[in-house]
Amino acid sequence: MPKTAPHKPTRRPARPQVTAVTGGSPGAAFSALANAALQRGEPDAVSDHILQTVLAAAVRIYAAKVELRGGHVRPFADGAVTATEAIVAACGMVRTADLSPFDVAMWFHRLPAG
């Protein structure tokens, strides 16, 4: 039986890079690490623990800003994530927080869009 080459993941088309985080900040370091892992098709290069720590901090600061400003905070720049990426992340957060679609519907209309 002939040997076949291992399957390589399909690379995604490039999308605009968000440049709001610059310099040698920890945010810039994480962003560079994550973008490089995605470009290589190796999302597991970023550990689940690091992802959970960074995402939890980002969600907490985003929620605090929304509460402070009355909802006028955009979570990311236009084109920074796809619709699929946004809904996959949102569904993961909804499930992890043990919320139901009813809970989400109530909160969806609580504050104006950012």
pLDDT tens series, the chain, 114 aa = 555 555 554 444 444 344 444 557 888 999 999 999 999 999 999 999 999 999 999 999 999 998 899 878 999 999 999 999 999 999 999 999 999 989 988 888 776 665
Distances in Å between the alpha carbon of 106 and those of 13, 73, 109?
Answer: 36, 19, 6
State the pLDDT at residue 71.
79
State the pLDDT at residue 108.
80
Residue spans per domain, the chain: 26-108
Q: What's the half-sphere exposure (Cβ side, CA atoms, 13 Å) at 96?
A: 10
- What tokens were used for 46? 């970023």
H helices of the chain, where? Answer: 26-39, 48-69, 83-96, 101-108
State the pLDDT at residue 76.
93
pTM here is 0.70
